[in-house]
Amino acid sequence: MSRSDRLFRLLQAMRVMPAPITAARLAEETGVSLRSLYRDIDSLRAAGARIEGERGYGYRLIEDYALPPQTFDRTEIEAIALGLAEVRHMGDPALAKAAAAVLAKISATLPDDGEQQLFHAISRVYRPDARFAPAAELDLIRQACWREEALAIHYVDKSGATSERTIYPLAIVYADRTLTVLSWCCLRQDFRMFAPNRITRLAQTGQSFRPQRAALLRTYLAQLEARSGSSAPERTVDSISDSPRLRRPQIRPEPS
């Protein structure tokens, strides 16, 4: 690991971990020896980071030289806090970790009164449980969306029927109490909303769908706009025939 990467990792750990943080915990988190950690803390201080603490007592990042000062009014601070708290309670571990990191970065750039307002707003957010059941493969699905890579999945629908499919994952969709993956299903030649917790096996194919992605999204959004003004009753996936003449692209509001 390069020195710059090591210093960045140390800064990020100090932003996120509750202070004071012992040198032993920081060394474990960043994967360096205590001797290297002390040198890195001295390097950050020399570069302009305000770090309180001494060996044996623990450390606290007071001011982060890597981030410019931010000015938010009370309403903006509350909006940031509520939004990030909502993300942290979604039940998506990767997003929860990212939200905590964003919160730590913003907090490090606020003046003392702004930081107090931020944590006061956070303390008013309470959810007894996560909005969505955790899905083991959600982070792999997210990576496939970013890389525009097809996935091979084994899927179990609501009736218990199983199927093997290749899908083009377009987006992870967070509704009020429902988490789905908007995809183009190569088996059905149609758009489908898959529930991640019904995907029992998932494999990367290495096949890129980048040339088709923009066209698929345009088609989906056009159909969504067209259906928004339609009074026709919604049909669930389980009620759709697999007949080839019915395989024109349609939007399915429920997981297939």
Query: What is the pLDDT, as a whole number, of residue 249?
Result: 42
Query: What is the pLDDT, as a whole number, of residue 106?
Result: 80
Query: What is the pLDDT, as a whole number, of residue 185?
Result: 96
| For residue 184, pLDDT beyond 90 | yes
The rounded distance, in Å, linking the Cα atoms of 73 and 110 is 11
The rounded distance, in Å, linking the Cα atoms of 199 and 4 is 40
Q: What is the mean pLDDT of residues 204-222?
A: 92
The rounded distance, in Å, linking the Cα atoms of 78 and 198 is 36
Owner of token pair 């210093």: 7
For the chain, what are the domain ranges?
Answer: 3-63, 74-122, 138-246
Q: Return the higher-pLDDT residue of 129 and 243.
A: 129
Determine the CATH number of domain 3-63. 1.10.10.10
Query: What is the pLDDT, as a whole number, of residue 160?
Result: 92
Q: What is the mean pLDDT of residues 161-176?
A: 91
Tokens at residue 175, please? 């509704």
> 3-16 vs 93-109: helix axis angle to the nearest 10?
90
Q: What is the mean pLDDT of residues 98-109?
A: 81
Q: What is the mean pLDDT of residues 98-108?
A: 82
What is the CA 188 to chain-centroid distance, rounded?
Answer: 28
Owner of token pair 């088996």: 187
| For residue 220, pLDDT beyond 50 | yes
- In tens, the pLDDT along 132-159 reads 666 768 889 999 999 999 999 999 999 9
| For residue 241, pLDDT beyond 50 | no
| For residue 195, pLDDT beyond 80 | yes
Query: What is the pLDDT, as a whole number, of residue 175?
Result: 78
Q: Which of 86-90, 211-215, 236-240 ranks highest by mean pLDDT?
A: 211-215
- In tens, the pLDDT along 16-72 reads 888 788 999 999 989 999 999 999 998 888 888 888 887 777 888 876 666 555 667
End-to-end CA distance of the chain: 45
Tell me the pLDDT band of 254, cut-offs 50, 70 and 90: very low
Query: What is the pLDDT, as a whole number, of residue 127?
Result: 61
The rounded distance, in Å, linking the Cα atoms of 2 and 146 is 26
The structure's pTM equals 0.58
